[in-house]
Structure 1
Amino acid sequence: MTDRRSVSLVKGNRPRFTDIEGLAAMVGDSDAFGVGGHHFARLPIALLRAIAASGVKDLHYVSWAGGLPLELLLEVNAVAEIDLCFSSLDIFGLPPKFRAAAENGAIPVRDWTALAMIQALRAGQQNLPSMPFQLPQGSDMLARVPGAVARPDPVAGTETGFVPALRLDTFIVHAQRADESGNVEIVGPRALDFAMAGAARKVLVTVEEIVPVGALRQDGRQSILTRNQVSAIALAPGGAYPASCLPFYVTDYQALSEAFAVKDSGLSDKLRVPAAGLPERLQKAAKVTAETVLAAPARGDGKATVDEIIAARIATELDNQSFASAGAVSPLANVAYRLAKATHAPDMIIATMSCGHLDIAPSPMVLSLIESLDCETAVAHAGGDDTYSTYYQAGAVTHEIVGAAQVDRHGHVNTIALRKPSGGLIRLPGQGGMADVANMHRDYLLYVPRHSVQSLVGSVEIASSARGLLRPAEREPMGYRTGKALVFTDLCIFRLDETSRELIVIETMPGVTRQQIRDATGFEVTFDADCREVPVPSGDTLAVLRNRIDPLGLRRLEFISAKDRGALIAEILAADRAMVERCIAAAQRLPAAS
């Protein structure tokens, strides 16, 4: 067997061209190892499967997200340490192998804020010992980020965070194309790919196509990782499957659902491209454009459900001056943003894929088409590191409405871990970037889909994020605008009071009594003097919500228990497939009709 440590590979002007097994052999035991792509987009699944099969051990996994890539590596016991901001399987819930490893303490897990990780990678990329970052005021996260400290800025004297450089041995990424000289093209959101590539000693890339030199210049919107930043490349058509790689194919949610449904080992085998090749429907779905997406069949005029009431109520917080960013896994927020833009706030800006799609059109949330429609209609594509600098840190984002597992009376959020009565831990996905942006956004809006004494508590064990800068006098010196601080639940709406810094009920959901709210809350509830009932959305608003914005009812996933999630996902996937097939048929008829 080849000794991986004997493979010395540095970046040069001509990357090596090899096959997937050749790339996998370049990953060494104990490497600090990063993975590119984002959510279920451009994940290097084929390469990860080869790495998992290679026998590599003791990897130090370092990425913004864990999710599916981390699950593949944990399954073969290839990981010794984990540094991340967030780990989720999107609509499919929490990653079971990550949860097990974190809950039993088998593998050290270190939680980072997104900004701290970005700045640490930038320090590595720019050959600096450390980088400054805005402190996550109000949270406990500074103490959790490895090596991070708070110190007076040497010029202004302002208390500032500093984080040491984060360097990687190996970074792997899947991309759309490379040319024959080794330049790599990325279409769509870049996540942290460029910062991670710059901070890595080895950059290993799989691509859908290899094209002649000069061909990449003929493409439209794209980003180029220049050849001197790349170590080696392998041609791997379908290399992201069952994740997406636009414009070649969309995510195969049915295949993912079937893979995740089986709890035993063998995940890697379930994620291979079918023997017959990539499913044709995924390739055709990637070609569906916004103009050919058909309206959903009318879903009737039934009574508004609580998820619809909350989505419509959140939408009223948005106007033509809003800049709303959709977080990692937030169907409810995404629905509310699109509803506002499709009705009363056409000039607002929506950013999706964690700000990778900038200024999208309010296309329908068809599960298999969300990414491709947002990619098509976005004014610009960006990376997470870019958008932090340009929008979040600058205080330009007005809203990012995020779900919370647990909120306390002071608006502190815990999305890291809960303590069981028995003393054990329940690992949660992590805070992503909320510890940073909770202070940066003008409006601090949270939602707790299932209001209970376990979710609304007197004090959280871990404050993963909080509105530490609440009053104008605290926010203005930092360059942040002051807006509302609200928590939406299925029973009521709280406001975080600037004076007491405690949650006060300002609105109750239709038909919900004050006593119901008291009984379901783990702290003494105060009601505002002007407390009123949340209005039921109009029939016109419900029609837009149900038939134009969220025809599959994705928002419902946030309001059900884990045991009921599987049945609802199956229902959504069946409706999704039927709608995608209708859209493909409509797209195929378009040339004949024109």
Structure 2
Amino acid sequence: MTNRAAKSLVKPNRPRFTDIEGLVAMVGQGDALGVGGHHFARLPIALLRAIASSGVKELRYVCWAGGLPLELLLEAGAVARIDLCFSSLDIFGLPPRFRAAADSGAIAVRDWTALAMIQALRAAQQNLPSMPFQLPAGSDMLARIPGASAAPDPIAGTAMGFIPPLRLDTFIVHAQRADESGNVQIIGPRALDFAMAGAARKVLVTVEEIVPVGALRKDGRQSILTRNQVSAIALAPGGAWPASCLPLYATDYQALSEAFAARERPPADNLRLPSEGVPAWLREAAKVRPETVLAMPALGRSEEKASVDEIIAARIAAELDNESFASAGAVSPLANVAYRLAKATHAPDMIIATMSCGHLDIAPSPMILSLIESLDCETAVAHAGGDDTYSAYYQAGAVTHEIVGAAQVDRRGRVNTIALRKPSGGLIRLPGQGGMADVANMHRDYLLYIPRHSAQSLVDEVEIVSSARGLLTPAEREPMGYRTGKALVFTDLCIFRLDPTSRELTVIEIMPGVTRQQIRDATGFAVTLDADCREVPLPSGDTLAVLRNRIDPLGLRRLEFVSAKQRGALIAEILAADRAMVERCIVVQG
């Protein structure tokens, strides 16, 4: 796919207006297919379902994320190859179809770093034979990225990565509006939509509304795909549901939960999403204002004793100050809670970016599941795409923190989120590294967390190094333009620091009530304890009150600390509380 001869990316000045069936007819057998939107936001669900039902086969799925779109296409047997950075169903866990395909080897999965994919799309967009990118130092990812190689920069002589163009045959995306000339308006974060549209021969768009020419100029924060970048448009109101399309409707987590649960009960082995239309309460939820939520009575727990998830969240928050720039990834409730807690208490001037840096400089709104995206979208100073923020923030070394969960970490702080080897010799596929291989070196502080400390999660040496702090000391970091900070691993038993001299993990703090022997017994390598090792401080009563009642009243952080078997019951509890709070907000707001 990456080495095929270039075909013209130039499109007519006016796209076709058609229906969803007309868009589907433009998707060819064996197409390299990119999918727009991100996470559970603005996904082209209606078009994906129609493609899945059309009988098209041999598609090469190309996207930063897999998740729900990939599951729909895999269930239809439409996919022959997968190129991605990670795949997850967020709070609902790992996508079963993706895991099954990857575990069995039935479909080739090619892992990319986010930066390599961005630069490969840009090379296609700009008609260049290759693009440079910063090497993911310390990881094994360079050898896994299709077509990537390392070579000295021809001017500076510095070792760089180079990637050939990543060309798409078809890119599908859902947007809020198009005008009658074919200009398409995207409101909110735009993920890699612009780069993928620029790298695609055909850009197929579904929209909520078609408006007269000139109407798009009246809005504020927005992004426009001009009409000469679009091939065809279909009107599809509710076309992203049960994903969100703000400011029109929020994500339907209840519908997603029911669909994901039903597929696990025989004979319903396929994902059956509802089709009756966007529920009215989700349209009202999208209109709830931040001040309405902040005025609601607390729903948080009132126990006096701090739980381990609260202790870790508060301890991470203590790492942040007014000069911090913290980025929250797509699937990281604990990080999101910690950042908001810091900004709501001792670090009001810090910058928080959510939706993988799509919402820039948000207010610390409460973590109400159905409202998180809309509140962040409303309070953000700016909206951006993943390609923009890589250039402006990550690669520039401007981000200080991005704490990321890890499946497995070794004694040298190296992470494996690609695959684990079973005792039988087979592999268990993990979600992938997303962009962590890049940003592990770019961020000032390298922070990881493992919610359940065990000898299986903390090992002597990981089999696949998906990300690592390869540039650790000032002498290694400063020539690259990166600041030097801390490298820490948080677990439910202790906190490790990556020692810059030994380049191995050392215990610097121990969780309350945990013994040193407990840590040794639960760790798969010989544990070293710092001479000044101390107990992790308990959060104050005031901090706990803000955490429980102001920041995370539903206890979303708990999802990271339960087993897969316990997750279903906890999700049901959270969804019930979420619905109750959203409905109260809707009534109060009127």
Of residues 278, 295, 298, the one that matches 1:296 is: 298
Shift of 1:267: 7.8
Q: Deviations for 1:529-548, whole angstroms, at most 9, x for unmatched residues?
A: 00000011011100000000
Name the residue aligned to 1:37. 37
Of residues 518, 527, 530, the one that matches 2:520 is: 518
Hey, what's the Cα distance between the residues in 1 that align with 2:299 and 2:530?
42
Name the residue aligned to 2:313. 311
Hey, what's the Cα distance between the residues in 1 that align with 2:268 and 2:16?
31
2:380 maps to amino acid: A
Hey, what's the Cα distance between the residues in 1 that align with 2:101 and 2:269?
16
Shift of 1:126: 0.5
Name the residue aligned to 2:391. 389
Hey, what's the Cα distance between the residues in 1 that align with 2:330 and 2:291?
26
CA separation of 1:351 and 1:267: change in aligned 2, threshold 3 A? farther
8 Å CA contact 1:10, 1:231 repeated in 2: no
Q: What are the equivalent positions in structure 2 for 1:226-241 lying under 5 Å apart?
A: 226-241=226-241
Answering whether residue 150 of structure 2 is matched by residue 159 of structure 1, we say no
Of residues 338, 342, 348, the one that matches 2:350 is: 348
8 Å CA contact 1:168, 1:201 repeated in 2: yes
Name the residue aligned to 2:458. 456
8 Å CA contact 1:178, 1:210 repeated in 2: yes
Could you state the TM-score of these two structures normalised by the residue count of structure 2? 0.97
Q: Deviations for 1:548-589, whole angstroms, at most 9, x for unmatched residues?
A: 00000000000000011000000000000000001111110x
Name the residue aligned to 1:109. 109
User: Which secondary structure does the structure 2 equivalent of 1:270 belong to?
Assistant: coil
Shift of 1:220: 1.8
Name the residue aligned to 1:419. 421
8 Å CA contact 2:259, 2:271 repeated in 1: no
Q: Deviations for 1:15-60, whole angstroms, at most 9, x for unmatched residues?
A: 0000001101110000000000000000000000000011000000
Hey, what's the Cα distance between the residues in 2 that align with 1:575 and 1:82?
37
User: Which secondary structure does the structure 1 equivalent of 2:228 belong to?
Assistant: helix
Hey, what's the Cα distance between the residues in 2 that align with 1:551 and 1:92?
19
Name the residue aligned to 1:19. 19
Of residues 534, 538, 562, the one that matches 1:536 is: 538
8 Å CA contact 1:169, 1:202 repeated in 2: yes
8 Å CA contact 1:75, 1:265 repeated in 2: no
CA separation of 1:88 and 1:73: change in aligned 2, threshold 3 A? same
Q: Deviations for 1:501-549, whole angstroms, at most 9, x for unmatched residues?
A: 0000000000000000000000000000000000110111000000000
Q: Deviations for 1:278-325, whole angstroms, at most 9, x for unmatched residues?
A: 210000000001011124235224210000000000000000000000
Q: Deviations for 1:91-135, whole angstroms, at most 9, x for unmatched residues?
A: 000000000000000000000000000000000000101100000
Hey, what's the Cα distance between the residues in 2 that align with 1:514 and 1:118?
44
Of residues 581, 585, 588, the one that matches 1:583 is: 585
Hey, what's the Cα distance between the residues in 1 that align with 2:283 and 2:272?
20
Name the residue aligned to 1:173. 173
Name the residue aligned to 2:489. 487
Moved over 6 A (4+): 265-269
Shift of 1:219: 1.2
2:180 maps to amino acid: E
User: Which secondary structure does the structure 2 equivalent of 1:207 belong to?
Assistant: strand
Shift of 1:145: 0.1
8 Å CA contact 1:49, 1:268 repeated in 2: no
Hey, what's the Cα distance between the residues in 2 that align with 1:62 and 1:161?
20
Hey, what's the Cα distance between the residues in 2 that align with 1:515 and 1:267?
45
Hey, what's the Cα distance between the residues in 2 that align with 1:366 and 1:298?
11
Name the residue aligned to 2:70. 70
Q: Deviations for 1:425-447, whole angstroms, at most 9, x for unmatched residues?
A: 11000000000000000000000
8 Å CA contact 1:9, 1:231 repeated in 2: no
Name the residue aligned to 1:60. 60
Name the residue aligned to 1:547. 549
1:233 maps to amino acid: I
Q: What are the equivalent positions in structure 2 for 1:325-344 lying under 5 Å apart?
A: 325-344=327-346
Of residues 564, 567, 573, the one that matches 1:565 is: 567
8 Å CA contact 2:300, 2:555 repeated in 1: no
Answering whether residue 221 of structure 2 is matched by residue 216 of structure 1, we say no
Unaligned runs of 5+ in 2: 1-7
User: Which secondary structure does the structure 1 equivalent of 2:476 belong to?
Assistant: helix
User: Which secondary structure does the structure 1 equivalent of 2:94 belong to?
Assistant: coil
Answering whether residue 411 of structure 2 is matched by residue 409 of structure 1, we say yes
Shift of 1:9: 10
User: Which secondary structure does the structure 2 equivalent of 1:396 belong to?
Assistant: coil
8 Å CA contact 2:411, 2:461 repeated in 1: yes
Hey, what's the Cα distance between the residues in 2 that align with 1:267 and 1:256?
15
Unaligned runs of 5+ in 1: 1-7, 589-594
1:562 maps to amino acid: A
User: Which secondary structure does the structure 2 equivalent of 1:173 belong to?
Assistant: strand
8 Å CA contact 2:353, 2:362 repeated in 1: yes
Shift of 1:499: 0.3
Name the residue aligned to 2:439. 437
Shift of 1:164: 0.4
Shift of 1:367: 0.1
How many residues are aligned here? 579
Hey, what's the Cα distance between the residues in 2 that align with 1:36 and 1:438?
25
Name the residue aligned to 2:3. none
Answering whether residue 267 of structure 2 is matched by residue 250 of structure 1, we say no
Shift of 1:266: 6.4
Hey, what's the Cα distance between the residues in 2 that align with 1:292 and 1:300?
22
Answering whether residue 51 of structure 2 is matched by residue 51 of structure 1, we say yes
Hey, what's the Cα distance between the residues in 2 that align with 1:334 and 1:33?
31
8 Å CA contact 1:204, 1:230 repeated in 2: yes
CA separation of 1:321 and 1:336: change in aligned 2, threshold 3 A? same
8 Å CA contact 1:451, 1:491 repeated in 2: yes
Hey, what's the Cα distance between the residues in 1 that align with 2:372 and 2:274?
23
Name the residue aligned to 2:141. 141
1:381 maps to amino acid: H
Hey, what's the Cα distance between the residues in 2 that align with 1:361 and 1:280?
27
8 Å CA contact 1:46, 1:272 repeated in 2: no
8 Å CA contact 2:34, 2:168 repeated in 1: yes
Hey, what's the Cα distance between the residues in 1 that align with 2:13 and 2:273?
34
User: Which secondary structure does the structure 1 equivalent of 2:182 belong to?
Assistant: coil
8 Å CA contact 2:9, 2:200 repeated in 1: no
Could you state the TM-score of these two structures normalised by the residue count of structure 1? 0.96
Hey, what's the Cα distance between the residues in 1 that align with 2:257 and 2:499?
42
Shift of 1:10: 6.5
Name the residue aligned to 2:506. 504
Shift of 1:269: 7.1
User: Which secondary structure does the structure 1 equivalent of 2:166 belong to?
Assistant: coil
